[in-house]
Structure 1
Amino acid sequence: MLLAGCTSGTNTPGEGDNPEGAGEALPAAEEQQVKPADKETPQAASVEVDEQPSNVFYEIFVRSFYDSNGDGIGDLNGIIEKLDYLNDGDPNTTEDLGITGIWLMPINPSPSYHGYDVTDYRSIHPDYGTMDDFKRLMEEADKRGIQVIMDLVVNHSSVQHPWFEESASDTQSDKRDWYVWAEDQGKAPSGSSAAGSGSPWHLKNGAHYMGAFWDGMPDLNFDNEEVQQEMKDIGKFWLEQGADGFRLDAAKHIFEDLASDKSEETLAKNVAWWQEFRTSMNEVNPDAYIVGEVWENAASSISPYLDKAFDSGFNFGLAEKIISAVQNERDNNLAFTLERTYGLFSKVSGGEFTDAVFLTNHDQNRVFTQLNRNVDQAKMAAGILLTMPGNPFIYYGEEIGMQGSKPDEQIREPMIWSNTGSDKGQTTWEPLKYNEGDRTQGVEQQLNDDQSLLARYRTLIQWRNEMPALRDGAIGQYTSGHEQVMAYTRMTSEKQALVVHNLSDTEVVITLTEDSGGHVFTSMAHATADGAVLNGAELALPPYTTAILE
């Protein structure tokens, strides 16, 4: 997107929040002439481009990832042992995945397996290790050029947190107003939760407290300045321990508790709080990366948070569009939507935003299950994800085709390291259902198979890391002329690339023309199939192939 051409453009209780709430296809043909794009907004290399310098992040549910001490539960030392699988720090090797960022799901003490109900915000869950283990993980990750962000859950605590126990036990307690009690505030305990999980009110000691997600996770009262200050201090504490930033859980629900709270006024309060939080984090690390979970498909709902609050908001709408295009094997003109979305994001953020793109996360059915275990389609989904602008997020096991469908425990099953049981670090905390036996080929089985899904992820990430246009570039429209071929340009101020995906199970041939800035792509930089051939302006793509042209 050119700066000169910008235009405004069912979870289980307590884990994530629910969402609320393409161009016209061209006739199919084996070979079709591409119409020249509109040339009114030139994309020459000399024109300033709104770049998005990026990292590839890997989301880890620690409990499921790798067990270092034989108790069947993943831990921080287990992640350290597997860092070389993620990135060995040597750009000349190709056996590692090549990621440059890690998102740790909650690592604080909690009575629940998932960790989103915190009992101590300044320590490590004993199942996962110690603070020294955390610091060592930060150091080892840094040696490999990996940033580590952690889940920060400030919207609510656990009912077993000492704050809530004190609040619930005595109406005169100093902590009483740290939570939302209906009777204390003169409210009727009625209405529906903004998080979509039924009534948000729960009875305790003769009064009703707010718990928008679940009765085990009472909402903190952010109208209380002491609560606000405590959460700022907690954020600063973790940055001082070495964390590189945060994924902010349930970010839009800080003041939005009831469905009736949805309003511009409530949105403004949420944004103002997160702007204060960001300002406070800047005192410790102004480069800390902050990405918020604002589960909305509309860009207009996410964009306010990019104004001096978050660096990124997860792009749930894009995730749905990627999976839909792959399932239907049809181009749905993602670049058209993104150009306009990024125009709005850039305007609101002053050009400082970075998109957070993904396929699925820990709150959604796994993408390989959604694709009915179709490996070819899974490779195409990876191809689109890893050639998008912004920070791509890979959910652990996605790169090997792990499967899973609700309930949540079964979309968070143990990582499959080997089908032979030869890896001592295999976690066993949850019995396998979707990934048992040979249903999912493990890392060991896929590492030396150059046709595996894991190999495709490694290849795509390597391309991205090596090519500035893929890693940091903006996105532009490019009409492929074929309904089953998705194409778009990626560009920095110095480099340009054309990304082309044949989403279908048949070979296609398209005729290339210049892009909207008059650039002609004349060489094949990369292709996922040997049969991809560029002969003059004719590009032949075998089934399910991604190609990068320069």
Structure 2
Amino acid sequence: MWKRVCEGTFSSGRKACPIVLVMLLLLLLIAACSASPEPAIETEGERYEVDEQPSTVYYEIFVRSFYDTNGDGIGDLNGVTAKLDYLKQLGVGGIWLMPIQPSPSYHGYDVTDYYAINPDYGTLEDLQKLLAEAHKRDIKVIMDLVVNHTSTEHPWFKKAAEDAASPYRSWYHFAGKDERVQADGAVGSNPWHTIGSGRYLGVFWEGMPDLNFDEPAVRDEMIQIGQFWLEQGFDGFRLDAAKHIYGDFASTVNSDAVKNNNQRWWQQFHSGLSEVNPGVFLIGEVWDSLSVIAPYLDRAFDSAFNFDLAGKLLRAASSESDPDAAFSLKRAYKLYGDASGGAFTDAPFLSNHDQNRVMSVLNGNVAHAKTAASLLLTLPGNPFIYYGEEIGMKGMKPDERIREPMLWHSAIDGGKGQTTWEHSSSNVDPSLVSVEAQLNDEQSLLAHYQMLIGWRNELPALRDGGIEEYRLDPPMSQVSSYIRATAKERVLVLINLSKEQQMVKLHEQEPFGSFDKVIRASHEDVAVQEGRISLPPYSVFVVK
């Protein structure tokens, strides 16, 4: 965001003020301008704060589907290590591992031991090797941490269910068979499940009993768990179901009391983890409106996923119409900045393990998939890429279909490292949709992702800068245009979302000046000529 914080200069035609008043005015101006800690762009008579968001590109990995090194058909931690050079070549600076702890489910979101590694994935030593090798390549690693609920197979729950006098009884929510309870579950179904002569609370599913965060021992344990994994070398956590710690019921999930309780818990969690790693990165899954998300950025999370933006970007790519991202993001960042004191980083994405894959949403249109990537990777914050999106993997719910094996090889029968735990029904032609098929194709979707991430890593304004609207004159709904800037650099992003060539007239915009030199281009031999630039179909340009 850009904020006018000081204005007014003395012009030569102005009548002189008494010297005391002039000195007081100068002191006030100096104090006001120096009070802001934000970097800023200086212009004559004005100062604009720059909402810089130092960032890197993150890559979400479902370990089970990624790469298999022991031949059992299941991806493993050593498989992630084996593909770190691929990820480095792609340009990512961080990876998010979906749950890697023991679980009776294939996905791992119902944990049975918070201090162990799922044996399907390897050992603690394998994890430590992965973390060390990632850090050698300047790649950060965060882990999915599921604290809202455990598995019914967790020893805590088993002891609590078997014995009403167990110290673990208060770690969960139990009710008598005839006891009056709220039944409007926050995710749509009755959250109470029968066990013996009573019931227990499990908002998402009967196999996932909710923990009771009013119990101090639960809070202490979860902080210790987080500290344990930081000590192994993780850089932070993606926090699952973050708004449901207290948000169990539809009628109260967004009440002030529930939001305040959630916020206080996550603040306590962040504080506890900071004792081990002051720079720990926490990103929360809060699938809700800006007003619900914002309070979590106050000393609780560093980031929250931008679900609303994801939908806008995909609709824009599909409809070939500008999503006006700068306008909506400035509104969001004002709210986030006020809540966090400016200490937040956005987390844009296109899809994740809970949503239909990009290529399926876009009906297999590769040009539209490239456009979506162009939008995502030129916006502020830490962009998150779901594994396989960079090669155009397809998948529609149910969940297994959107978590299919990553395709590495062109051969139908797979090859070294190919996971086979799940039959690939959505991606049946690896001669087109695989890393091998696209790696040396300069026109491939993979090459497009690599190009864009490369630009982002090379240009500080794209990587770390704020965003400002750039209004085309005349307006053009088929072209996205916005300024990305740090205090020292500013660039203009132009994206033609349409299949038609578009002629754009550039203009000077204060305080950024004019833009007249193409410094990055998806198409060759395009330049600014006499203040105009001709954009080929589905092209993206960075102009300085």
Q: TM-score, normalised by structure 2?
A: 0.91
2:478 alignment partner in structure 1: 484
2:56 alignment partner in structure 1: 55
In the TM superposition, residue 333 of structure 1 has moved relative to its aligned partner by 1.0
Give the aligned residue type for 2:469.
Q
d(CA) in 2 for partners of 1:72 and 1:439?
Answer: 20
**2:516 aligned with 1:525:** no
Larger Rg: 2
Q: 1:135 aligns with which of 115, 128, 144?
A: 128
2:537 alignment partner in structure 1: 543
d(CA) in 1 for partners of 2:421 and 2:267?
Answer: 39
Aligned length: 504
Query: Are the equivalent residues in 1 in contact too, given 2:41–2:487 (CA < 8 A)?
Result: no
In the TM superposition, residue 436 of structure 1 has moved relative to its aligned partner by 1.6
Q: Deviations over 1:142-183 (max 9, x none)?
A: 000000000000000000000000010011111111100123
In the TM superposition, residue 3 of structure 1 has moved relative to its aligned partner by 4.6
Q: Structure 1 residues 137, 3: closer, same or farther in 2, change over 3 A?
A: farther
Q: Structure 1 residues 438, 536: closer, same or farther in 2, change over 3 A?
A: same
Q: 1:206 aligns with which of 197, 200, 205?
A: 197
Give the aligned residue type for 2:537.
P
1:64 alignment partner in structure 2: 65
Aligned pairs for 1:114-125 (under 5 A) are 114-125=107-118
d(CA) in 2 for partners of 1:427 and 1:57?
Answer: 22
d(CA) in 1 for partners of 2:42 and 2:497?
Answer: 29
In the TM superposition, residue 439 of structure 1 has moved relative to its aligned partner by 7.6
In the TM superposition, residue 50 of structure 1 has moved relative to its aligned partner by 1.6
1:291 alignment partner in structure 2: 283
1:231 alignment partner in structure 2: 222
In the TM superposition, residue 258 of structure 1 has moved relative to its aligned partner by 1.0
d(CA) in 2 for partners of 1:109 and 1:225?
Answer: 25
- Three-state SS of the structure 1 residue aligned to 2:360 is helix
2:36 alignment partner in structure 1: none
Give the aligned residue type for 1:424.
K
Give the aligned residue type for 1:519.
G
Unaligned runs of 5+ in 1: 7-41, 88-95
Give the aligned residue type for 2:478.
Q
Q: Which stretches of structure 1, 4 residues or longer, exceed 6 Å deviation after superposition? A: none
Query: Are the equivalent residues in 1 in contact too, given 2:96–2:144 (CA < 8 A)?
Result: yes
Kindly report the root-mean-square deviation, in angstroms, between the aligned alpha carbons of the 2 structures: 1.6
1:332 alignment partner in structure 2: 323
2:354 alignment partner in structure 1: 363
d(CA) in 1 for partners of 2:414 and 2:403?
Answer: 21
Q: 1:468 aligns with which of 438, 460, 470?
A: 460
Farther-moved stretch of structure 1 (341-350 vs 241-250): 341-350
d(CA) in 2 for partners of 1:495 and 1:164?
Answer: 55
Q: 1:426 aligns with which of 418, 421, 424?
A: 418
Q: 2:496 aligns with which of 482, 499, 502?
A: 502
d(CA) in 2 for partners of 1:539 and 1:460?
Answer: 20
- Give me the identity figure in percent: 55
Q: Deviations over 1:113-156 (max 9, x none)?
A: 00000000001000000000111111000000000000000000
Q: Structure 1 residues 351, 549: closer, same or farther in 2, change over 3 A?
A: same
2:2 alignment partner in structure 1: 2
Q: Deviations over 1:212-244 (max 9, x none)?
A: 000000000111111111001100110011000
Aligned pairs for 1:309-320 (under 5 A) are 309-320=300-311
Query: Are the equivalent residues in 1 in contact too, given 2:236–2:281 (CA < 8 A)?
Result: yes
Using CA pairs below 8 Å that are at least 6 residues apart, which structure has the higher relative contact order? 1
Q: Deviations over 1:252-300 (max 9, x none)?
A: 000111112220111000000000000001100011110000011x211
**2:424 aligned with 1:407:** no
In the TM superposition, residue 343 of structure 1 has moved relative to its aligned partner by 1.1
d(CA) in 2 for partners of 1:448 and 1:77?
Answer: 25
1:77 alignment partner in structure 2: 78
**2:275 aligned with 1:275:** no
Query: Are the equivalent residues in 1 in contact too, given 2:41–2:488 (CA < 8 A)?
Result: no
Q: Deviations over 1:298-349 (max 9, x none)?
A: 2111100000000000000010111111111011211011111101111111
In the TM superposition, residue 441 of structure 1 has moved relative to its aligned partner by 1.7
Q: TM-score, normalised by structure 1?
A: 0.90
Query: Are the equivalent residues in 2 in contact too, given 1:3–1:50 (CA < 8 A)?
Result: no
Give the aligned residue type for 1:412.
R
1:20 alignment partner in structure 2: none
- Three-state SS of the structure 1 residue aligned to 2:190 is coil
d(CA) in 2 for partners of 1:441 and 1:375?
Answer: 11
Q: Structure 1 residues 189, 389: closer, same or farther in 2, change over 3 A?
A: same
1:181 alignment partner in structure 2: 174
d(CA) in 2 for partners of 1:113 and 1:281?
Answer: 28
Unaligned runs of 5+ in 2: 7-39
Q: 2:186 aligns with which of 151, 171, 194?
A: 194
d(CA) in 1 for partners of 2:135 and 2:2?
Answer: 33
